[in-house]
Chains A and B, each alone.
Chain A
Amino acid sequence: EAQVTQNPRYLITVTGKKLTVTCSQNMNHEYMSWYRQDPGLGLRQIYYSMNVEVTDKGDVPEGYKVSRKEKRNFPLILESPSPNQTSLYFCASSFQGVGQPQHFGDGTRLSIL
């Protein structure tokens, strides 16, 4: 089954404790991206990647890191999480570029205390 898999689905942690949210897709997609969703703000892009070893900042990259060492994986790293990063996070992928339909993961709910 074609899918984008995010882990964990839920996480409660404390300020400053490094965490990684994994994202994996099995569709051989070149384009992958991360969004955060906050009430009243819709979804905003954090980082995106056009292909392996190619990543770039989105609209709200501060406090986040990403890597794209393999085509299928695109982890989101919070080196020193803070409470303002409490949010719902989505990973998405498409074959090429953002103009094509995006396949979204099921979301990761992060709470930073």
Chain B
Amino acid sequence: AQTVTQSQPEMSVQEAETVTLSCTYDTSESDYYLFWYKQPPSRQMILVIRQEAYKQQNATENRFSVNFQKAAKSFSLKISDSQLGDAAMYFCAYSEEGGADGLTFGKGTHLIIQP
């Protein structure tokens, strides 16, 4: 079974600084998807970024970017110019290519933004 590990239960960063959230996963598949979801206090689940494993280029969405290292099975999220609105739980998630099974989530990282 696939597993997703987020080794940082909590991270803190100063406003306007850059922070990196770690995620590693375990799979024997070669084609899959990786995601980062944000869950603010409102508890909504918001897709931040999506990476297709067959693409070597790292996905980027505005201030959010990933460092996808397929051989190392690592998928970290970098948030640049951190803003107060970035404070949330962040979940890393994995899914197989063409799979019907659901997303496999990590346990989450609580990100605190210090003003």
Contacts and interface: CB of A to CB of B under 8 A. Distances in A.
B82 interface: no
Interface of A is mostly: strand
Given A42-B91, A90-B45, A107-B44, A50 B108 contact: no
Interface string A30-52: 01010100001111110010100
A90 to B, nearest CB: 6
B100 A106 contact: no
B107 interface: yes
Interface residues of B, number: 26
Nearest to A46: B102
Given A104-B44, A106-B43, A43 B100 contact: no
B99 A97 contact: yes
Contacts of B44: 104, 106-107
B102 A58 contact: yes
A98 interface: yes
Interface of A: 31, 33, 35, 40-45, 48, 50, 56, 58-59, 88, 90, 92, 97-99, 101-102, 104, 106-107
Contacts of A97: 98-100
A88 B41 CA distance: 13
- Max chain A CB contacts within 10 Å: which of B35, B91, B95, B100? B100
B64 to A, nearest CB: 14
A98 B44 CA distance: 18
Q: Which of A40, A44, A104, A106 is the most central at the interface, judged by chain B CB atoms within 10 Å of its CB?
A: A104
Nearest to A96: B98
Contacts of B91: 42-43
